[in-house]
């Protein structure tokens, strides 16, 4: 049975299980970075080699996401979600049980492949199933699982991981398995029109889409340029240990709030306007934050935390607006590839940001000056955003082929 947009509505029940799946991905993506010494000791490798478990996950996901998003475009969406989540869970189970570094690395590659496809297909499912007036809120709900993991799941994982670094991975497996069961029973099936590989890859030939991808990449570059070295910026002012842990926890919570606020505002004002406000505000916060850090004593600490939390709020809301904007530019049938490209652009941006920040410090910059460097990146990003907004404020969504179902059409079991 098919239902139209009005019938489908905004039903959080099924989306909650997709959010649980993204929650498991959020824990997996960050928790191991805080347990590198334990991993290196247990697997008998040095810290640099242990760190490659994170690097290979990011690189594999960035490459595999767009490719798998295109190749699986003909598949039924629920089945694709179940398959990719199953691969993700099995990969993490292999890492948790790995007797050697080789098997841990193999498990990370497998989990990255599953996670990359899962991230793309969940976004495309939400976009295709949800009527346009609810799309921002639906994406915010699903993405909220990932952000909630960074705010709560990762700190909890780090605490329990002190006894054994494998325990957080069992947590990921358990949460992922629970999501798998919920998705099997609660998430409706969804068929989109079958596409040829050429049709599936068509977004790669559209300069408008490729230029829009520069915006989330620039935001992530500017964010990670400072976030990677946040301890160097804030610890001299707020203290080491628990104060810094509290600041990072606050960053995660405020990001989560920004995500949900962005979902509602995006539905009302449109993603182009929201993205413009986000880039401009984060740029302003970087410049004012740099100036505020020069203040002595408590004033400098307050200025530093204000910059940190304002950036958290608006960076947390950027993902919903970016995905919604891209979804408006393509048909639902090719959304998986476009959202995978968005994820790859964000991964590339975060990697570039960390590298650029490290290069600036190596060249003699003090940590506070990283805010100015990020401001330069944000200024360029704002120019790109304004230029693309002027030309493609609301690109009409042309069907890939005749007979495409209306947005929100689903096929129930």
* 110-168 per-position pLDDT tens digit: 998 999 889 888 888 888 788 877 878 888 888 888 777 777 766 777 677 778 889 98
pLDDT for the residue 197: 61
**H or E segment to which residue 326 belongs:** helix 297-328
State which residues form the domain around 158: 2-411
DSSP 404: P
The whole-number pLDDT of residue 154 equals 63
Mean pLDDT lowest among 11-20, 106-115, 252-261, 266-275: 11-20
**What is residue 189's DSSP assignment?**
P
**How many whole angstroms separate alpha carbon 302 and alpha carbon 304?**
5
The C-alpha atoms of residue 71 and residue 16 are separated, in whole angstroms, by 27
Domains contained in the chain, number: 1
3-state secondary structure of 116: helix
**Distance of alpha carbon 61 from alpha carbon 59, whole angstroms:** 5
Given this model, what pLDDT does residue 208 score?
A: 84
Q: Where residue 72 sits, what CATH number does that domain have?
A: 1.20.1250.20
**Full-model pTM:** 0.76
């Amino acid at each position: 049975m098919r239902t139209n947009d009005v019938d489908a509505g905004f039903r959080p029940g099924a989306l909650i299980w997709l959010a649980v799946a993204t929650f498991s991905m959020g824990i997996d993506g960050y928790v191991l970075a805080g347990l590198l010494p334990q991993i290196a000791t247990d697997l008998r490798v040095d810290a640099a080699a242990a760190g490659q478990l994170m690097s290979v996950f990011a690189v594999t996901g960035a490459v595999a996401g767009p490719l798998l998003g295109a190749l699986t475009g003909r598949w039924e969406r629920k089945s694709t979600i179940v398959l990719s989540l199953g691969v993700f869970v099995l990969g993490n189970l292999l890492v948790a049980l790995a007797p050697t570094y080789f098997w841990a690395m193999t498990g990370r590659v497998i989990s990255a492949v599953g996670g990359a496809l899962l991230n793309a297909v969940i976004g495309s499912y939400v976009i295709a199933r949800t009527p346009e007036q609810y799309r921002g809120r639906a994406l915010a709900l699903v993405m909220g699982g990932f952000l909630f993991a960074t705010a709560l799941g990762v700190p909890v994982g780090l605490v329990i991981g002190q006894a054994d670094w494998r325990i957080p991975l069992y947590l990921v497996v358990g949460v992922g398995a629970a999501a798998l069961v919920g998705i099997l029973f609660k998430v409706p099936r969804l068929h989109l029109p079958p596409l040829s590989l050429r049709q599936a890859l068509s977004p790669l030939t559209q300069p408008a889409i490729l230029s829009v991808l520069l915006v989330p990449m620039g935001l992530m570059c500017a964010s990670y340029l400072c976030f990677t070295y946040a301890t160097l910026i804030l610890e001299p002012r707020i203290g080491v240990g628990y104060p810094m842990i509290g600041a990072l926890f606050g960053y995660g919570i405020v990001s989560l709030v920004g995500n949900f606020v962005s979902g509602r505002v995006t539905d009302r004002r449109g993603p182009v306007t929201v993205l413009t406000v986000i880039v401009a505000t984060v740029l302003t916060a970087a410049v004012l934050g740099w100036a505020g850090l020069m203040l002595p004593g408590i004033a400098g600490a307050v200025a530093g935390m204000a910059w940190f939390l304002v950036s958290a709020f608006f960076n947390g809301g950027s993902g919903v607006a970016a995905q919604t904007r891209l979804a408006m530019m393509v048909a639902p049938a090719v959304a998986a590839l476009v959202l995978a490209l968005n994820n790859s652009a964000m991964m590339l941006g975060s990697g570039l940001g960390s590298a650029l920040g490290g290069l600036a410090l190596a060249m003699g910059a003090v940590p506070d000056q990283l805010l100015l460097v990020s401001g330069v990146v944000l200024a360029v990003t704002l120019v790109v955003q304004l230029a693309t907004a002027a030309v493609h404020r609301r690109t009409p969504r042309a069907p890939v082929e005749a007979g495409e179902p209306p947005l929100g059409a689903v096929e129930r079991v």
